[in-house]
Structure 1
């Protein structure tokens, strides 16, 4: 008959965790100095998501034998999951010092440093991990991600390709290889990788979106249309693809993007949002901040500010110094989750922009909208709502994409965003009671290595504003 420790291991392996706890405790009663029993009791508590007790067990094991790398690693792992990152870092380092060949300790140390944006240390940890396990695809993938995020595309690509070689059935590996090939200008190869990713995971919205973007960049509009139509045969109500199809063909273009389209698109995009915008040299938030510096008093935390379509908080960071209260509004729950991590907002709200502003009479001194109104064709209702939400002498500062030579009031472009003419923009602002204080055309970002031009506008709500009827 096995002793209590061995019985605990068998029960833990079988998933009988509560019984395993009892067996390990009995083993400890027999031998309180068994660091193995304390360690395994800790791993069992961790599987039960009782991290506090897990940490206590690991600490007890280390008091008995402080030279065990695996226990330092387990303690680091539990602390990491609890969000106690500085303590976890110290324990990972200790585990690596005691056993430099520990794959798990080296790899998780790299992940922790990556999350803390300590790029040099994370890269070194991942490279050491590959020396230990050169055929681990996930490590190649993580090192590729780090190099990609640092815009070292040429260096990232071999790691993505190696991960794909090691696991050719992994849709994420195929997608990330395509993601890296695209900014390198290898559009045919990128297209094949996105197609492969979709073969492996037909439900991947982000892979389908990237495939459409590459096809459009190559002028293969008919193939992009066919990708949409094939998907809609299986999922006829897919708001994202219905919007993209309308944008590509120009047929049945809506006057604004649907809530479902915006929410689903940005939920899927959230994880890569900041890295992608960095790759595209996104400048819209900086343009808004520069314009605010000209129109507003010196930043002194005096305004109630609404960050409309706040995303991950790229604008909020720049406008926090102006705000006594900063509210972030977005339809995407995933974007709001990432915005919360920045710890700059007083409140984060998941609602549609127009209806929210219509019901916040004179609530704000300033509304900022960085690339948010690009998802509206008709601007009348959203401008009127903004006028309602602003106090007297309040300001709306925003960006909109501009397409030179297009005389239509607004048009839905193949990429899914709207462009507006200057005359329509100014008329819509005037009809909504705004006075335009400043307006210029600036480069908002790059797309397909070409500049995307857009309006950067500051409009003021005068002290006397006639009550405007709501549009039907």
Structure 2
């Protein structure tokens, strides 16, 4: 009887081990299925599989993290932040989850929370370029340009072949009106990755500031060819067309940009400029007066508001 009892205990223990293995296998399979759906550009199904994995293990940090990435495909920022936060709660040193949450905070307008995540990343790993990249983006949003530039420079020192970092560095220099330095850095970025659309868009913005309108058009057209999903590329092209006298073509692109991103105030500014150039005082003031109140430092707003008032 004692031998039989021992055998039963042994069999029971084996069953427990197999059950645990089965649970790990099951949740792992759901995670992999979700990842496959993400590769197939089916984030809705992916979310379902990740949720199945979480139902099996509520402390499955990777499932929360991947579910957050899937929510980003739908621009569901609050949901994504919630999932990243859950993954971080489970694993406080989950670097990628903190990084993605910081980026999502930026997209959601929560700049100070993004700054906190940047500091957290630097404390976790100050040899990873992403720590300083997030810090640079955050300080840019807060208009702390010297601090932003310093962070991007540190990121570039850690990842000198990353063209995105160079473009961000050049962007800060553009904001500071250091156009020659910005152009030199864009040339370096283009050597690394000539297919980076943002570098061509930024170059177009510099050329516009230098009143090289035809060259600005060529540069932004290249950006659109490389990525036709960015509303601000169309908005910039529309602006440049206004300054080359192609008003209706410019307005068409500005309206297209507004349809793609109704929250971009630069599109509204450009529409106000269009009405100034058309001599429509009432419509011009409708756009530019409000912008002057909300964004008094925006380039061209004061100049064209004055022109509208003088019509």
Determine which of 340, 358, 363 is the counterpart of 2:262.
Answer: 340
Q: Distance in 2 between matches of 1:398 and 1:369?
A: 11
1:370 maps to 2:255:
no
Determine which of 204, 225, 242 is the counterpart of 1:209.
Answer: 204
Does the 8 A contact of 2:254 with 2:271 survive in 1?
no
Determine which of 165, 173, 180 is the counterpart of 2:172.
Answer: 180
Q: Who wins on radius of gyration, i.e. which is larger? A: 1
- Give the 3 Å change call, closer, same or farther, for CA 77–199 of structure 1 in structure 2: closer
Q: Distance in 2 between matches of 1:333 and 1:100?
A: 44
Q: Distance in 2 between matches of 1:333 and 1:265?
A: 20
Which runs of 5 or more structure 2 residues have no equivalent in the other structure?
A: 1-18, 236-246, 287-295
- Aligned to 1:331, the other structure's residue is in SS state helix
Q: Distance in 1 between matches of 2:203 and 2:79?
A: 41
- Give the 3 Å change call, closer, same or farther, for CA 446–73 of structure 1 in structure 2: closer
Return the TM-score normalized by structure 1: 0.45
Aligned position for 1:10:
none
Q: Distance in 2 between matches of 1:59 and 1:191?
A: 47
Q: Cα distance, 1:333 vs. partner?
A: 7.2
Does the 8 A contact of 1:38 with 1:60 survive in 2?
yes
Which runs of 5 or more structure 1 residues have no equivalent in the other structure?
A: 1-27, 217-223, 229-238, 245-259, 275-307, 312-328, 343-347, 349-367, 377-381, 387-393, 400-442, 460-472
Does the 8 A contact of 1:126 with 1:143 survive in 2?
yes
Q: Cα distance, 1:265 vs. partner?
A: 9.5
Q: Cα distance, 1:111 vs. partner?
A: 1.5
Deviations 1:375-415 (A, max 9, x none): x6xxxxx45xx6xxxxxxx944359xxxxxxxxxxxxxxxx
1:456 maps to 2:308:
yes
Does the 8 A contact of 1:369 with 1:398 survive in 2?
no
The aligned runs of 1:33-112 (5 Å cut-off) are 34-112=26-104
Question: Of the two structures, which has the highest relative contact order with CA contacts closer than 8 Å and spacing of 6 or more?
Answer: 1
Aligned position for 2:116:
124
Q: What is the count of residue pairs matched by the alignment?
A: 257
- Aligned to 2:253, the other structure's residue is in SS state coil
Does the 8 A contact of 1:42 with 1:56 survive in 2?
yes
Q: Cα distance, 1:120 vs. partner?
A: 0.9
1:331 maps to 2:233:
no
Q: Cα distance, 1:98 vs. partner?
A: 0.7
Deviations 1:39-87 (A, max 9, x none): 2222222222333332222222222211121122122222232333333
- Aligned to 1:340, the other structure's residue is in SS state coil
The aligned runs of 1:130-209 (5 Å cut-off) are 130-184=122-176, 189-201=181-193, 204-209=199-204
- Give the 3 Å change call, closer, same or farther, for CA 99–444 of structure 1 in structure 2: closer
Q: Cα distance, 1:117 vs. partner?
A: 0.3
Q: Cα distance, 1:452 vs. partner?
A: 4.8
Q: Which has the higher strand share?
A: 1
Q: Cα distance, 1:174 vs. partner?
A: 2.1
Q: Cα distance, 1:106 vs. partner?
A: 0.7
Does the 8 A contact of 2:129 with 2:156 survive in 1?
yes
Aligned position for 1:365:
none
Does the 8 A contact of 1:36 with 1:61 survive in 2?
yes
Determine which of 187, 210, 214 is the counterpart of 1:240.
Answer: 214
Return the TM-score normalized by structure 2: 0.64
Q: Distance in 2 between matches of 1:62 and 1:148?
A: 36
Q: Distance in 1 between matches of 2:151 and 2:88?
A: 24
Aligned position for 2:10:
none
Does the 8 A contact of 2:171 with 2:202 survive in 1?
no
Q: Cα distance, 1:181 vs. partner?
A: 2.9
Does the 8 A contact of 2:272 with 2:283 survive in 1?
no
Does the 8 A contact of 1:266 with 1:332 survive in 2?
no
- Aligned to 1:61, the other structure's residue is in SS state helix
Q: Cα distance, 1:116 vs. partner?
A: 0.5
User: Alignment RMSD, CA only?
Assistant: 4.3
Q: Cα distance, 1:180 vs. partner?
A: 1.6
The aligned runs of 1:261-276 (5 Å cut-off) are 264=221, 271=232
